[in-house]
Amino acid sequence: MRFHVFGAICALGIAGQASAAEDVDALVGAMLGDTPIIGDLQILTDQIGGRVTGSPSSKAAVDWARARFEQAGVSAKIEPFEMPSQWQELAVSATVSGDHTFTPRVIAKPFSAGADQLSAPLLDAGPGTKDDFARLGDAARNAWVLIESPLLTDEIGLNGLFAEYSDAAHSEALAFAAGAAGVVFMSSRPNNLLYRLPLLSGKGRLPLLLMERESATRAQRLLRDGKSLSLTASIEVDSGYAYQSANVIGEIRGSSRPDEIVLIGAHLDSHDLGTGALDNGANASMMIDIARQITRLGLKPARTIRFALWNGEEQGLVGSWRYTQQHQDELDNHVMAASFDIGTGRILGFFTGG
């Protein structure tokens, strides 16, 4: 299904040729056949690994992607741009103490402030709503507040994921206004899973932790049973300065309408807790393979087809925004733009923007 959608998109580039339908069928057939796409994804994930924008692995991925385009006979270039604010976790630890003591697994949420053995009472802030902070009152000041998250299931899907984004931003803002020492978010995933989600507000103003669900629910049960708990945490981050990154742009120039551009892209960067296979190495590898197969088949699109591999997506869609700034003079020539994200398999929906 995903390759059929790409075939339809690429038809915009081939439009006007009598053989357009046959060319699209040939491209889809080639993509469904034996291609290097899996091998490319294995290199991107197993060898290069997690690709935090600005990290050495991110830079290696940029060089690798340009080389793969060029090896496929596709013109490619690296377009540098400035990222506004660096943030990477270097080390993090936390201990729960008081009536009971245990050491939970935690990570720092992106753009968390640092902390050096910050010890404060741990309080149950429920789901972190306005009413929850009103209930805590002055007790929230200079305390760690534990925010409950609903379990994210396949049935809830993307709606639940995006709700988690916005709910966390709202709770962080309330915690900051209440003078909290820091915020501990309960993982929405079971089985001790940790992950990084974007922070939509208040970058760098509070220490922010994500705690494995099993430990967070344990702490919550103890607090609701009347036990007294404290949390001591250290968060070491590299943050607070602008730095350089780059997009990779491959291009197959149009044969009869070269000034008209069909842009398709996928973000190359990822977070660092995994190897970024589904988010979004699979689609980055597919961009390269679509360009490869168009060239191998000798297809001659009427319009220019441009393949963009963005960086800085996980920090707020920075790379794609920088593309629009760098290509401002030709934006009106873009007849279509699409970016592909969030895994593999059938395309179940899309988002519009602009």
Q: Look at residue 5 and tell me whether its pLDDT is greater than 60.
A: no
Q: Look at residue 203 and tell me whether its pLDDT is greater than 80.
A: no
Q: Look at residue 8 and tell me whether its pLDDT is greater than 60.
A: no
Domain contains 345: no
Q: What is the pLDDT of residue 45?
A: 97
Written as one letter, the residue type at 186 is: M
Domain contains 347: no
Q: What is the pLDDT of residue 354?
A: 56
Q: Percentage of the chain with pLDDT > 70?
A: 94
Domain contains 179: yes
- Enclosing domain of residue 333: 2-84+242-339
pLDDT tens by residue, 132-162? 999 999 999 999 999 999 999 988 888 898 8
Domain contains 58: yes
Q: Tell me what the pLDDT averaged over the chain comes to.
A: 93
CA 80 to chain centroid, in Å, comes to 19
Please indicate, yes or no, whether residues 103 and 231 belong to a single structural domain of this protein: yes
Q: Look at residue 231 and tell me whether its pLDDT is greater than 70.
A: yes
Q: What CATH number does residue 46 fall under?
A: 3.40.630.10
Q: For residues 215-236, give the mean pLDDT.
A: 98
Q: What are phi and psi of 231, to 5 degrees?
A: -130, 135
Please indicate, yes or no, whether residues 275 and 323 belong to a single structural domain of this protein: yes
Q: What is the pLDDT of residue 1?
A: 45
Q: What is the pLDDT of residue 317?
A: 92
**3-class SS of residue 115:** strand
Q: Look at residue 274 and tell me whether its pLDDT is greater than 70.
A: yes
Domain contains 197: yes
Please indicate, yes or no, whether residues 105 and 232 belong to a single structural domain of this protein: yes
Name the domain boundary from 239, 255, 282: 239
Name the domain boundary from 183, 214, 239: 239
Please indicate, yes or no, whether residues 105 and 225 belong to a single structural domain of this protein: yes
Please indicate, yes or no, whether residues 149 and 194 belong to a single structural domain of this protein: yes
Q: Look at residue 89 and tell me whether its pLDDT is greater than 90.
A: yes
Q: Look at residue 219 and tell me whether its pLDDT is greater than 90.
A: yes
Instruction: Based on DSSP, count helices (H) and strands (E) in the chain, helices before strands.
Output: 9, 12
Domain contains 254: yes
Domain contains 335: yes
Whether residue 53 contacts residue 315, with contact meaning beta carbons closer than 8 Å, is answered with yes
**3-class SS of residue 342:** coil
Please indicate, yes or no, whether residues 77 and 100 belong to a single structural domain of this protein: no
Domain contains 348: no
Domains contained in the chain, number: 2
Q: What CATH number does residue 226 fall under?
A: 3.50.30.30
Name the domain boundary from 177, 208, 239: 239
Please indicate, yes or no, whether residues 79 and 92 belong to a single structural domain of this protein: no
Longest dimension (CA), the chain: 77
CB proximity list for 188: less than 8 A, separation 6 or greater:
149, 150, 151, 152, 160, 164, 213
Give me 329's structure tokens.
């003079």
Please indicate, yes or no, whether residues 219 and 104 belong to a single structural domain of this protein: yes
Please indicate, yes or no, whether residues 143 and 190 belong to a single structural domain of this protein: yes
Task: Read off the pTM.
Answer: 0.90
Nearest to 52 by CA among 288, 322, 318: 318
pLDDT tens by residue, 109-131? 999 999 999 999 999 999 999 99
Q: Look at residue 262 and tell me whether its pLDDT is greater than 60.
A: yes
Tracing tokens 């969030």 back to the chain, one arrives at 342
